[in-house]
Chains A and B, each alone.
Chain A
Amino acid sequence: MSPTVNIEKLRFQYDAGADFELRIEQLGLQAGKSYLLFGRSGLGKTTLLNLMAGVLRPNSGHIEICGTDLASLSRRATDRFRGDNIGFIFQTLNLIPWLSARDNVELALTFSPERRARLTASLADSLAELFDRLDLDYALADVKARQLSIGQQQRVSAARALIGAPPLLLADEPTSALDAANTERFLTLLQDMMEKSRQTLMVVSHDRHIQSYFDEVIEIEQLLTGGRA
């Protein structure tokens, strides 16, 4: 079985000759497993996520997601591919504040007919099930995102990342805005959900305390062999 993510001999610079160069010799993420990419900020986490999203293109090397080399896709196809195959959860402010919780989740299907097609139940049922599994009161579905608490917002954004079952979930500091209790609750729910599906989860965080929730922990400083040149 091929890995969900396979990165090889990656080189990336924002500008030719710039100080910063991101290098990854090899990174493989197996389907159905959860990974914590651990390290302090400023090492290129955001750059790596943008590369995996296909928003940035490497200078050399390969990024394969679900068996597709991102370099083989056009810009437009990359956008579609990202929508179909990757669910994102960010630090904060990653919901559209003027949309309801329901609309925010459904937005993931707007740009990806494939994810819509993957729904096994009706949209309303899928939504209700996700809310239920994420311990969200379904009555919140029609509340504007900006009116939800941070903890609720984070779970809604998890629901958005999970709906339509994209094979890969990428999360950037998903717990940094949450208190200890909410962090534990959120990660437990996430862990619980990942076990049931065969999705791959990669969380990028500087918080060592959460490592017990993951199958594997990768030190960014070891991964990014280059770092700052």
Chain B
Amino acid sequence: MGMSVSRLLMRSMLDRWFSLGLVVFSMALAVGLFLSVQNVQKMTRANFENSVANVDLVVAARGSEIQILLNSVFGIGQSAALVTAESMEEVSRLPDVAWLVPLSLGDSHRGFRVIGTNNEMFEHAMPGSTNNHLRFADVLDAVIGKDVSDTLGYQLGDKLTLQHGVGAYGADHDDMPLQVAGIMQKTGTPFDRAIFIPVEASEALHLGWQGGRRVANIAPPHDVHDDHDEHDEHHEHDAHDEHEAHDEHDHSGGLDAIDAIFVGLKDKRALIRVQRDVANLETESLMAVVPGVALSRIWQIIGNVDIAFRMINLLILALALLSMVALTLANMENRRREMATLRALGAAPLTLVGLMVAEAALLAAGAAFLGYLAAAGFALSAHMIFLSDFGFVLHLPPLTDGVMMGVYLVPAAVLANLFAIFRIYRATLNDGIMVQR
């Protein structure tokens, strides 16, 4: 077969496998980091956007778009003010509104947030279609997200008691046990970490509370009273004298106040009109937020952080490239001798430049490939952590990202190394067929 030029290159690189390996390793790490950060960023955005994919508008008391979105969808922050039942009624009467989902927020159960809502939540607002069938059959039913069920081990039919306020150490509403009536399929959104209860139950919870302090014991709404009696563990009827705070009949007619409303439209082209209608409601000062717009505002703010991250990543990548250049230069004396020998055997100087360029390109391509594998490995191994801690699915980085990385990295590596290659080339031209000693 004989020695081909490519075999010569392979042998040469194999001989220096350790130092070249280190260079490829450092470049691959930089690439892996770059792809992983990019992947996590993309996935975060995709999952955030997916959370509100089916919601056309979020109506809440006038305030910051971002705050309204973060509070209603992601459970971050607090509502500036509440939305009254009259306002909700008004919104539902707007001609373009197809459905609306009330959201009563601010409660938690063992670290998971509790959302008071209605059946439309599952039917219309929930991302994906796997949870569309879930319903509250009873006012004391609860539907729990997959993460809640996985973490707390709740099964269908289990009882749970709720706390007022957010946080693991709130006082127990042990006088209002709810029953797990549904367990959601994974959605990859913050809703996986939520407990949904009927908004009426949420309302009832709050009746006995003011400013976070218990002022009255309440009984559950009438229609589920029998169910409640069956519950043996139920006690604490020691404050019956304050029972007048609870007026069942007043309450059953409608809702008092909620934090936000998810709205679905009959026609998405009516978005602006509905926004204006909501802003013009006379009942109180409300606004309708387009989730996509609010999200893009958030991305704008986070965008600078993204750029900073990217700069740091590119800097790390540049350092890895520099290590390759340094290695090439450190090896210059040996290379000069080899080049002189090859020239004596009839190799053209440009062929030798080609060998060195091919080497840089191969190293970069290898680094891009290994870096992609590293990012894929990270996605696979961190998959569960992202799912459980952040509530979204970290997919494998798209292969095209790895390919694009190679497309940029290979010429970048060749360009960076061209400095060293040119020095060796010039020396080779001077050396001729032998290196002067």
Q: Which residues of A contact B (CB under 8 A)?
A: 46, 49-50, 53, 55-56, 75-76, 79-84, 88, 90, 93-99, 103, 106-112, 116, 123, 160, 172
CB of B253 within 8 A of chain A? no
CB of B434 within 8 A of chain A? yes
- Chain A neighbourhood of B433, CB < 8 A: 49-50, 53, 55, 82, 88
Q: Is the interface of A mostly helix, strand, loop or mixed?
A: helix
Task: Check A53–B344 contact: CB distance below 8 A.
Answer: yes
- How far does the alpha carbon of A160 sit from the alpha carbon of B3 in the complex, in Å? 13
Instruction: Show 29 residue pairs from A and B whose CB-CB distance is below 8 angstroms, ordered by the A residue.
Output: A46-B436, A49-B433, A50-B432, A50-B433, A53-B433, A55-B432, A56-B432, A79-B343, A79-B346, A80-B348, A82-B346, A83-B345, A83-B346, A83-B347, A88-B433, A93-B337, A94-B341, A94-B344, A96-B341, A96-B342, A97-B15, A98-B12, A98-B14, A98-B15, A107-B3, A110-B4, A111-B342, A111-B345, A160-B345
* Highest count of chain B CB atoms <10 Å: which of A76, A95, A110: A110
Count residues on chain B whose CB falls below 8 Å from chain A CBs: 26
- How far does the alpha carbon of A80 sit from the alpha carbon of B343 in the complex, in Å? 10
Task: Check A103–B11 contact: CB distance below 8 A.
Answer: yes
- Chain B neighbourhood of A79, CB < 8 A: 343, 346-349
CB of B5 within 8 A of chain A? yes
B153 shortest CB reach to chain A, Å: 62
Q: Which residues of B contact A (CB under 8 A)?
A: 2-5, 8, 11-12, 14-16, 337-338, 341-349, 351, 432-434, 436
Say which residue of B15, B16, B341, B343 sits within 8 Å of A55 (CB atoms): B343
- How far does the alpha carbon of A143 sit from the alpha carbon of B309 in the complex, in Å? 50
- Chain B neighbourhood of A98, CB < 8 A: 11-12, 14-16
A110 shortest CB reach to chain B, Å: 5
Task: Check A49–B346 contact: CB distance below 8 A.
Answer: no
B348 shortest CB reach to chain A, Å: 4
Task: Check B3–A53 contact: CB distance below 8 A.
Answer: no
- How far does the alpha carbon of A97 sit from the alpha carbon of B347 in the complex, in Å? 18
- Chain B neighbourhood of A106, CB < 8 A: 2-3
Q: A83-B345, A109-B2 are in contact. List 9 more A-B contacts (CB 8 A).
A: A82-B344, A84-B346, A88-B345, A94-B341, A94-B434, A98-B15, A107-B345, A110-B3, A116-B2
Task: Check A46–B11 contact: CB distance below 8 A.
Answer: no
The residue in chain A whose Cβ has the minimal distance to the Cβ of B344 is A88
- How far does the alpha carbon of A172 sit from the alpha carbon of B435 in the complex, in Å? 12
A182 shortest CB reach to chain B, Å: 21
- How far does the alpha carbon of A208 sit from the alpha carbon of B4 in the complex, in Å? 40
